[in-house]
Each structure stands twice: as structure tokens, then as C-alpha cells.
Amino acid sequence: MHKHLYTQLILITVCMASQALQAQWDGFSEPVYGGTTQYSEWEHFITTKNARPDIADGTSGTLTETTGEGFPSSTLNIYSFSLDTQFTIAGSSANDLGQLNLQFVIWGAPDYLKISPKFSIGSSETFLAANTFSNSSEGSIYIQGRGDIAITVFSFFWDLSGYVVNDYQIDFGLAVHTSLDKVRVDTSTATLSLESEPIVLINITTSIVNGEIVLIFPTHIGNNYQIKWTSDLTTAVEVATWNDLGPLIAGDGNTQQIVDPVSSESSQRFYSIIISN
């Protein structure tokens, strides 16, 4: 019996290797990405250690059970009847990644996901929670001795803008009596274009303290402020060419009071603030 099953698995693996690179299971969503996209899918599991995807396009990775006593079942998924299981997906890319979408299918209800996926960059111990996640039902499957078992599809999305990501790791865990059936990872080099905060016009007031000019103005989160000055309007026509008074100030919603320490040495000075977002 075991020899017959082993022969079937080898034949399945050879057949899948000859297929074109395309999604195998149509229940997964197709992310719409720009940039360079990469894709991996685990459709059939014949091992719980360093399982490589059945299909991979431009990316490499492995899936490993790190905790538990799961095993490849006769239905080619990973099942555990004695302990909770934890899994690690280790992936790498030749390109810096801007977005990643993890999808996986379990035979079990949504609450059978015991540990939500955590994303880490390389060997870092800093984990990134998913920006968005969802789950949906794909009906049920009848298993002799257990009855009808729910089929649940999970999707987790990470926006990796601001990070340098080539090597990554994703960890998640399932409850006992749960089958990990299919897994898909999609990545893109494109980063999300975040909407800028609108520029808010401000009123500036001035005062003189100990002979020095003080500029007082409110700030708004998402706006940046650069104070400029000149002592001669006839030669400094464009404000952008004026001198900087201090560094760029990031708006935090508080009022700023900026002192010009050498203003007392000039007979006249003109000020302006350039606001950006």
C-alpha cells in the first residue's frame, strides 16, 4: 500500500513540473500589481520540511513545519491530529520587494488559525503585522469519521514601502485537526503611492524678544516647513533662493516659535515659509 502511494506521488510531481507557469487553483485571488511581479504556489505537499512550491515564477522559497506533528496526508495536504502546528515560509528575491500578498487554504473554520502570519525581513526579529487581511468560505469537504469540514481561504497583505526587502520569513500557526491545503505568495517591486496630505495655509506672527525676531506659526501633520530669509529683496527675487533659517520642520500639529539669533545685527530682514507635503 505504501509503495503504491509513493509511486503516485512521484508521478504527480513529474507531471506538474511540465506544466506552464500559471495559477493552479482558481479560488485564489489574482493581485493586480505593477512593477516586477513574482509568484509561488504550493498545491500538493509530500513533505513538511523545506517543501518547495509546485510552481514558482521569479522567486524562490520553502515552507516548513517548525512545531507540531503534522504529516503529508493521502489528500496531499499537511494534517495534524495530535498537536497544534506552526509553519515558516522562507522566501528570497533578486529584487527589492514593495508589496507581498500571502494566501492559503485550510480545512477548518476561521478560528482554526491560531497564530496570524507575521512577516520579518531577513534574520531580523522585528515582525511586521499585515496591513490588511481577510478570510472567506469555500464551502466544505466531507471527511469520513469527521463529517463535513469547512474550507477557509485566508489573505494577508503587507505594504513594504520604506523597507529594503530581499529575504523574508512568514510565520503562522494552525490548530490541531486542521489541514494546510494550499499556499500562494505574490510579490511586486512596486510600492504603494500614498496620498499626500493637503497643504494647509497658515498665518505667521512675529515678536521681538531681547532684540531678536521670533516667528510664530501653527503646523499641520503631513506638512513640512522651511523658513527662508533675505535682507535684500532686489537681488533675491525667488524665495527658493533665499537663505535657510534652520532645518526643515516636520509638522506635528503644534505651534512653532523660531528665533532668528542674528536678526538683531541687521537693519532689515524679510521672511517667508515654504510649505511642502
Q: Which of 68, 65, 62, 150 is nearest to 106 (CA)?
A: 150
Is residue 238 very low, low, confident or very high in pLDDT (cuts 50, 70, 90)? Answer: confident
Pick the residue with more confidence: 87 or 262?
Answer: 87
Sheet containing 113-121: which strands, arranged edge to edge? 60-67, 85-92, 167-174, 113-121, 127-128
Rounded percentage of the chain residues whose pLDDT exceeds 70? 90
Contact 109, 101 (CB under 8 A): no
Structural domain tally of the chain? 2
| DSSP-derived secondary structure letter, 109 | -
135 in a structural domain: yes
In this prediction, residues 250-263 reach a mean pLDDT of: 89
Residues 88, 115, single domain; the answer is: yes
46 HSE (CA, 13 A, CB side): 13
Residue 217, all three cell numbers: 506659526
Q: Is the pLDDT of residue 195 over 70?
A: no
Query: Hey, how many other C-beta atoms are within 10 angstroms of the C-beta on 248?
Result: 11
Is residue 174 very low, low, confident or very high in pLDDT (cuts 50, 70, 90)? Answer: very high
Domain extent for 211: 205-276
pLDDT of residue 94: 85
User: Is the overall model pTM greater than 0.85, yes or no?
Assistant: no
Pick the residue with more confidence: 177 or 35?
Answer: 177
Residues 80, 159, single domain; the answer is: yes
Residues 183, 210, single domain; the answer is: no
Q: Is the pLDDT of residue 123 over 50?
A: yes
Instruction: For Cα atoms 233, 277, 220, give the angle at the middle one, nearest 5 degrees.
Output: 90
| DSSP-derived secondary structure letter, 202 | -
